[in-house]
Structure 1
Amino acid sequence: MTTADALPMVFVHGTRFSAGQWSPQLAALGEEFPVTAVDLPGHGTRASEPWSLSAATRVISSAVESLGCGPALVVGHSLGGYAALEFARRHPEQLRGLVLAGASASTRGAWAAPYRWVAGLVPRVPAERLTRWNDRMLRRLYPPEVVDATIRSGYAFHTLPAAWGEVLGRFDATAMRHVAAPVLILNGEKDTVFRSGEREFARAHPDARVELVPRARHLANFDEPAAFTDAVRRFARELRAAAPGAPVSPRP
């Protein structure tokens, strides 16, 4: 199998979660593609590591290198989507394609105010209470095969203020101009908040498109795991079939 045929995939989790978020996708895609999922700094197995976007991009970069198949398709959800955008800016040579899931809203301006408030509130609530609430919510909404890995890995509430404190005020559609690869903006149909800038994000890139997961909300890969996985698979196959050596040039 050539590097072009292999098309490795790196999955980057969202707020408070860990690599376990992607267990349905890894199981479904692993037979066709080299796949891995990372724990960002402050999350999962890296819970003791301090958060920073710089450190997050290094984690993603190391994951791409670990697969040993050349540039990767990076799939980022929510916080992980914004970290993937930063990775795309810093390491364009490692990027074959980008899936932004629940990460196509500007984090600047008035939109960010409620999220700053939540980030400041979380440390005031005992982590044990937040854990019980998250466990109950996930078990009530989703089958065990979708969320058990996430529940077992625990939650990174302690990292949330630092992570969103750095992301808020930093990203808008202009970040797409630094992505030197095709982009799939993959949102849950009912995720009205993080869909708010999807058209602007798509217009800011010469090779980006928007696809919606029917009936899904912000956690689209939990709400409709098969449909989410199918969208990623189709995009990956398109990238694999495309002629190599013709990356998208970032805009100045």
Structure 2
Amino acid sequence: MWAYWLGAIPVTVEEILKACPRQRVTALSRGALSYRTAGQGPAVVFLHGLAGNSLSWARQFPALAARYRIVAWDAPGFGLSDAVEPDVEVFADVLRELLDHLGCGPAAVAGHSMGGVVAARLAAGHPDKVARLVLSCSHAGYGESADSPMQPRVEQRVRELASVGAAEYGLIRARGLFPAGFADKEAMGVAAGVAAEARPEGIRSSTRMLQLADNRSVLPRLEMPVLVITGERDPVVKPHLRDELRALTPQARHIEMPGAGHAPYLEYPAAYNAILDEFLSPG
């Protein structure tokens, strides 16, 4: 692992993933929560999306850990984290407990896609915990009623995972993150390896959480510095959701990454990390 931080360049997907900090597990009030951490300095907490886990940030750890204390969680139902109720307030409270456990608040919180929905809810409910907020390829939540049925694609994905196996499932999910014609096999391999670790309980609870979550009333009221990053060719967050998030955060800085799909942290890591670094260390 330490060779990565000392400058050796991994040349395979396996080496990239193995070079990430080791997975740690802590007991919180709602069960086990796993995460990875490296570096020293101001805390930056990364929250992954539906097809991710703490390994999603394999290209951020080595670039940013020299200047920041990086923490990447495994959301409830992912990695070694126990699943919780499919409620965005519960997800945000688990995150609050993790920050308190690690003693790293107020922190910069960078939430990607699903992670952005959770990050925004934490920032709204506990602004003392969030010094800066990054919403990466995210949205406001789907805001459906509690009596709405589970989306059919949820059980379809669970059945797909069981029928094709983890490796093929990971590849299918990874292909859906990138725009047509994307040819970086290393980025694709990392995304597939991460997505292959999905668990049925995580798929179910997190998708339902997003289905019910609604941050439309809280996003305009956020008072900490906010950065919204979007991908020009994002195949996951549709244009109307992207535009809605922009409209709901007029106080934020908005950056669209040209040519990027739904995983700019893997597709264009140097540019993505530079955007983060500038926002995290202004002036």
Which band: TM-score by shorter chain?
0.7 to 0.9
- In structure 1, C-alpha distance between the alignment counterparts of 2:62 and 2:163, rounded to whole Å: 30
Aligned to 2:166: 131
Match for 2:77 among 19, 23, 42? 42
Match for 1:215 among 234, 238, 259? 259
Match for 1:98 among 120, 133, 155? 133
Unaligned runs of 5+ in 2: 1-39, 176-182
Aligned to 1:168: 211
How far 1:100 sits from its partner (Å)? 0.8
SS in 2 for 1:212: strand
Range moving further from structure 2, 88-97 or 115-124: 115-124
Aligned to 1:71: 106
- In structure 2, C-alpha distance between the alignment counterparts of 1:207 and 1:89, rounded to whole Å: 14
- In structure 1, C-alpha distance between the alignment counterparts of 2:213 and 2:75, rounded to whole Å: 18
How far 1:165 sits from its partner (Å)? 1.3
SS in 2 for 1:235: helix
- In structure 2, C-alpha distance between the alignment counterparts of 1:163 and 1:106, rounded to whole Å: 11
- In structure 1, C-alpha distance between the alignment counterparts of 2:75 and 2:202, rounded to whole Å: 10
Range moving further from structure 2, 218-227 or 152-161: 152-161
Q: Could you say if the C-alpha distance between residues 151 and 172 of structure 1 is closer, same or farther in structure 2, counting changes exceeding 3 Å?
A: closer
- In structure 2, C-alpha distance between the alignment counterparts of 1:144 and 1:198, rounded to whole Å: 23
Q: Which runs of 4+ in 1 moved over 4 A?
A: 137-141
Q: Deviations over 1:161-203 (max 9, x none)?
A: 2222122143254330342312111111101552433343333
Counterpart check, 1:205 vs 2:249: yes
Aligned length: 230
SS in 2 for 1:180: coil
RMSD across aligned positions (CA)? 3.1
- In structure 1, C-alpha distance between the alignment counterparts of 2:213 and 2:195, rounded to whole Å: 32
SS in 1 for 2:259: coil
SS in 2 for 1:168: helix
How far 1:141 sits from its partner (Å)? 5.0
Asked if the contact 1:38/1:59 (under 8 Å) is kept, the reply is: no
How far 1:145 sits from its partner (Å)? 10
- In structure 1, C-alpha distance between the alignment counterparts of 2:200 and 2:273, rounded to whole Å: 27
Q: Deviations over 1:111-151 (max 9, x none)?
A: xx9x9231232233343625222444559854179718953
- In structure 1, C-alpha distance between the alignment counterparts of 2:62 and 2:157, rounded to whole Å: 32
Partner amino acid, structure 2, of 1:40: A
Unaligned runs of 5+ in 1: 242-252
Q: Could you say if the C-alpha distance between residues 106 and 87 of structure 1 is closer, same or farther in structure 2, counting changes exceeding 3 Å?
A: closer
Aligned to 2:43: 8
Asked if the contact 1:99/1:183 (under 8 Å) is kept, the reply is: yes
Q: Could you say if the C-alpha distance between residues 11 and 149 of structure 1 is closer, same or farther in structure 2, counting changes exceeding 3 Å?
A: farther
Match for 1:83 among 118, 143, 157? 118
Q: Normalized per residue, which structure has more helix?
A: 1
Asked if the contact 2:51/2:195 (under 8 Å) is kept, the reply is: no
Asked if the contact 2:74/2:80 (under 8 Å) is kept, the reply is: yes
Counterpart check, 1:233 vs 2:277: yes
- In structure 1, C-alpha distance between the alignment counterparts of 2:60 and 2:189, rounded to whole Å: 9
Partner amino acid, structure 2, of 1:93: D
- In structure 2, C-alpha distance between the alignment counterparts of 1:64 and 1:146, rounded to whole Å: 31
Identity value in percent: 25
How far 1:89 sits from its partner (Å)? 2.0
Q: Could you say if the C-alpha distance between residues 135 and 104 of structure 1 is closer, same or farther in structure 2, counting changes exceeding 3 Å?
A: closer
